[in-house]
Each structure stands twice: as C-alpha cells, then as structure tokens.
Amino acid sequence: RVLGFDIDDDNMAKAVSRGVEAADSAAAIGTACDVVLLCLPSMAIVEQTVETLLQQLPVGSVIVDHSTISPDLAGDLAERCKAQGIEFIDAPLSGAWQGAEAATLAIMAGGDKATYQRCLPLFEKTGNNIFHLGAIGNGQCMKLCQNLILVSTLTGLLESRQLAESVGVDTAQFLDVMDACLAPRGVLDITRPKLVNGTVDNNSNGIEMITKDITLVRKLADKQGQHLPVMEKVQSMFAKANDAGYGAYDLFAWPELLKSGLFEEL
C-alpha cells in the first residue's frame, strides 16, 4: 500500500493514475504509514513537514528526506526525530523526473546502516545507483558536490554555445561536436532538445532552485574552510539573476541574461 500527498492537484492525479492512494494531508500520511518519503522544494517546507509528521508517526517509524537541504539541517532533523523514537535518513536524488520514471535515479543516503537497509527495497523502486555514505548529512554533502559539477557544467555549456554561434557555428553542429568530445554526455542529453528548439520556460522556478542549491554549496564550503573560486563566481551570478527577477526562468534563459549586461560588474 502506497499513500501520497502533494499540494499540486495535477501531480496528485498522476500519482493516483499509477496506483497511489491519495491522502488529504501530510498529517494523514503520518497516521497511516511507518516509512515516509519526502521530496520537497525548500528547507523551510521540509522542516515544517517533518514537524507535522512527528506529531503523528508511531515510535520506530522512518522519515526519508529525498529533498536537497543543508547537511546541518539534516543533522538537526535527525536529532529531533531521534528524540521521539523516529529514524531519519537523508537521501537526496539525482536524475530528475526522467530517472524516477525509469527507476534509474542515483540515491545518496546518510544515516544509520540498519535503517538504510530497511529502506533499501523502497529505494530500489526508483533508483539503480544507490549509495550508503555513512553519517547523517553525508548524502546531502554528495548531492551538493554533484550540484556544483552540474551547474558549472551547464553554465559552461550555454556560454560555449553562445561563443560558437558568434563565429557562425549553429547549435546543431555545436552539439554534435561536443557529443563527440569529452563534454559530459548526460548533460548534453538533457540540454540538446531545448537548445535545438530554443525553448525557455519562464515558469519553472529553475534559477530560483539552482540559486538555493548552489548557495547551500557555498555555505558548506565556507563551513569547511574551502576556497572554491569557480563555485563562488557561479553562486554570485545565480544570486544576482535571482535577485533581478529571473528566479522563475529555467537555466536556458542564461544566454538572455548574458546579453542583458546583468553580470558586467561581477
């Protein structure tokens, strides 16, 4: 039996069409389930939802957070859960919705090994690259490392495409050449359709979400005493774009931002 809840009616309808039973709230999930999986857009919502669940879940239950949050918050939530006899696993994901549908997500888990083993059959329903990385928060650390690579690579790809176009190489040729070279294949796979079609989604909150994630990377690096100049530059650019009102746009608006002069003073 699988119960689900989402504030988005369309998302909930899709889940129900695939056999999920609809719950009317997160609290209702807590009263009916002994393992609860979260995947939420912000740290504040994660914290609020965990607090709601702690009022409902019986002792011995497990909360698995698939969201991207800070390692510190993961540790704090784990302590709050432990105080009430609830286990907590931080297990952020990589692979987007396509990976979830194909059951090929990468899952990076931190927390108690026995609890991880208990949850592993559930992880195997959506992922095929599943890692137990030790202590609480280590899953989030690895997700932030992945995000740093991904965001830096994507912005580099978009800027490279702009440079190629400036000398007369069209997008299709550019992508074919990059596909034959050392550019990361997975990044090309997900960007090719939008680059070829020239589509930009101005209602995806993509830049806002990337700003959140790369800012978490910067905070972790600062905490660890690590000076990462490329990351710091990328984070500053995304923060400026988000503050300038581009938060709702997806990353494929980056060429527009470059041409706008927004980053000239950085």
DSSP character string of 157-226: HHHHHHHHHHTT--HHHHHHHHHHTTS-HHHHHHHHHHHHHT---TTS-HHHHHHHHHHHHHHHHHHTT-
pLDDT confidence of 188, banded at 50, 70, 90?
confident
pLDDT confidence of 63, banded at 50, 70, 90?
very high
Q: Tens of pLDDT along 131-151?
A: 999 999 999 999 999 999 889
Report the phi/psi class of residue 40: left, alpha or beta, with left for phi > 0 and alpha for psi in -120 to 50: beta
In the chain the domains, ranked by start, together with CATH numbers, are 34-135 (3.40.50.720), 141-260 (1.10.1040.10)
pLDDT confidence of 93, banded at 50, 70, 90?
very high
Strands 93-94 and 105-109: antiparallel
Annotate 75-89 with b (16+ C-beta within 10 A) or e (fewer).
bbbbebbeeeebbbb
pLDDT confidence of 44, banded at 50, 70, 90?
very high
CA distance 261 to 244: 12
pLDDT confidence of 197, banded at 50, 70, 90?
confident
Q: Are 201 and 252 in contact (CB under 8 A)?
A: yes
CA distance 22 to 213: 30
Long-range contacts of 129-135 (CB under 8 A, 24+ apart): 129/104, 129/105, 130/106, 131/106, 131/107, 133/108, 133/109, 134/110, 135/110, 135/111
- Listed residue (114, 67, 64) closest to 94, CA to CA: 67
Query: Given this model, what pLDDT does residue 265 score?
Result: 80
Query: Given this model, what pLDDT does residue 216 score?
Result: 96
Q: Is the pLDDT of residue 191 over 90?
A: no
Q: Is the pLDDT of residue 125 over 80?
A: yes
Query: Given this model, what pLDDT does residue 133 score?
Result: 98
Segment 10-22 shows an average pLDDT of: 95
pLDDT confidence of 232, banded at 50, 70, 90?
very high
Query: Given this model, what pLDDT does residue 186 score?
Result: 76
- Ranking 29-33, 51-55, 74-78, 260-264 by mean pLDDT, the lowest is 260-264
Could you identify the residue written with the tokens 């979830």?
100
Mean pLDDT over all residues of the chain? 93
Query: Given this model, what pLDDT does residue 187 score?
Result: 79
Query: Given this model, what pLDDT does residue 231 score?
Result: 93
Query: Given this model, what pLDDT does residue 17 score?
Result: 96
Q: CB under 8 Å to 246, separation ≥6 — which residues?
A: 207, 253, 257
Q: CB under 8 Å to 126, separation ≥6 — which residues?
A: 93, 99, 100, 103, 105, 107
CA distance 5 to 88: 19
